[in-house]
Chain A
Amino acid sequence: MISKTAAWLEGSGPDADIVVSSRVRLARNVVGFPFSHWATEDEIKELLETIEKAIRHYPPSPKYLLIRFEDLSEIERKILLERHLISREHAQAKEYRAVTISADEQVSIMINEEDHLRLQVLMSGFQLMNALDLVNKVDDLLEKDLEYAYSPQFGYLTACPTNVGSGIRASVMMHLPGLVMLRQIDQVLQAVTKLGLTVRGWYGEGSEASGNLFQISNQLTLGKKEEEIVQKLEKIIKQVIEHERSARKALLKKDFPKIQDRIGRAFGVLKYAHQISSSEAMNLLSTLRTGIELGVLKGVDLKVVNELFLLTQPAHVQKILGKKLSQKDRDEKRADLIRKMLRDEHLE
């Protein structure tokens, strides 16, 4: 898995120059069992077996992995987190937790997370409706074997009252360097929040925005149809895309040499540095990405930048090297990795 890029980081799909990825997840629980945090060890074990059986019966794709967390090292669990296949909370749990991942990493099913099941579809670019269609299909298959906890009044019953009803969380990961550089980002994000959406960083809940990446998602799950929730989010995201596009245009017009200088410097540091932290790498990679998106930086492939976003995360660096490393060692190895990957990339 580690040797290749996940499909959602291909840098393809509609509006991929601004929307890195689209994600839709559904929270589901099985009738007759307490929620994961309140269940006994026996109950959670039985749940895991019940859900695994259903997944083997109706897998999300012809080729898929079903991984139990007890078979994974801490670094391997962090890799799944860095690849956005499991959540932070899920990564911290150990026994009787599992995840199913389709071969292209578009579909993942978290088992015994906050909810018994979290079905997730992650796609490259801006394609929320396609993600919703696919996650619904996976859901339809699994409900043939699993009886979901559901009530006609409250809908799908979830551990946390903030997910009840549709259990849906739709989100997009946006790269917004234009709005950040023009200092319009707070204004835009505040407006987005007022419209009932949530803004988070690269790693979702509780994480800081770094690398000019922002995750925007719906907050309300009850009282609206899934399609309506996704359409509303889409509408607002389209406006943010427009704002980012005009910010980029304005930036190019305002001070082209400065932008060019910034991007060139980022490329230089990444190509020749011998020590680099993950947050510095992320910020410089964001600048590189900006250069490609603006058409200022030619000769560097967006896919390489996306790949580096992932491979330079702490757990990925350690896994590639095959051992646990101190932060200092990690920073050196990260720089080695980046130099190696950018060796053949030259500015035109």
Chain B
Amino acid sequence: MQCEVCQKKKATVHYTEIVNNQMVKINLCEGCAKGKGIDIYSKFSVSDLLSGLAEIEETEIAHGTQECSRCGMTYREFKDIGRFGCPECYVAFQDFLKPLFEAIHKASRHVGKVPKRWSKHTSQETELKTLEDELTKAITREAFEDAARLRDRIKELKEAKRRHS
């Protein structure tokens, strides 16, 4: 494949740009790519992607100064660097993340592996809810022995949860 600019050298840089929501592909040789200011070793740029999505850009201008309380990174900085400052940034910028992840991954919810700590956490939450439902039912049908047993178990779980957090 020939370079589309000089028409001489072999195109080794396959550059993709998003202009007005349209994907534009350009094939360049290394020299012409450098001339165009394309750093072939640069990371995928989140800002390139974002600039193609007008509706995000509007909200983003209004909230560019929004800051992560844990590490101090602003949304503007995240956009420029293309990387988060710390895991808490995911909470600080969460309003913008859904559309961003939809654009990058065509999804915004994780469905894969769950760390053991979290699967335990999730199952404890479910158990707590079930027990509380059962307790209400036990009280309604005046099964006080059952209710006492359930109440103790709930207390245990809640204490364990408190200790863990």
Contacts and interface: CB of A to CB of B under 8 A. Distances in A.
A31 interface: yes
Interface stretch (B53-61, B98-106, B139-147): B98-106
B43 A154 contact: no
A29 B84 CA distance: 12
Interface stretch (A215-223, A283-291, A293-301, A312-320): A215-223
Given A34-B71, A154-B97, A154-B101, A159 B111 contact: no
A219 to B, nearest CB: 9
A214 to B, nearest CB: 13
Contacts of A223: 105-111
Contact of A159 (B84, B104, B122): B84
Interface string B32-43: 000000001101
A225 B86 contact: no
A254 B78 CA distance: 55
Nearest to A155: B110
Given A161-B104, A224-B107, A114 B86 contact: no
A279 B71 CA distance: 44
A326 interface: no
Interface stretch (A9-17, A73-81, A99-107, A142-150): A142-150
A35 B84 contact: yes
Contacts of A186: 1
Interface in A116-164: 136, 139-140, 143-144, 147-162, 164
B71 A38 contact: yes
B71 A164 contact: no
Give the dominant DSSP class at A's interface.
loop
A332 interface: no
B162 interface: no
A38 B109 contact: no
A186 B41 CA distance: 21
Interface in A199-238: 205-206, 208, 220-226
Given A35-B85, A38-B85, A160-B82, A153 B109 contact: yes
A305 B6 CA distance: 37
B8 to A, nearest CB: 17
A165 B110 contact: yes
Interface in A154-182: 154-162, 164-166, 168
A265 interface: no
Contacts of A35: 83-87
A29 B87 CA distance: 8
A37 B113 contact: no
The interface centre, meaning the residue of A29, A38, A136, A156 with most chain B CB atoms within 10 A of its CB, is A38
Nearest to A140: B116
B73 interface: yes
Contacts of B104: 161-162, 220, 222
A136 B1 CA distance: 40
Contacts of B71: 34, 38
Contact of A161 (B85, B100, B110): B100
B109 A37 contact: no
A225 B112 CA distance: 4
6 contacts: A34-B85, A35-B87, A154-B97, A206-B41, A221-B105, A222-B108
Listed from nearest, the 5 A-B pairs whose CB atoms lie closest are A223-B107, A155-B110, A149-B87, A222-B105, A34-B86
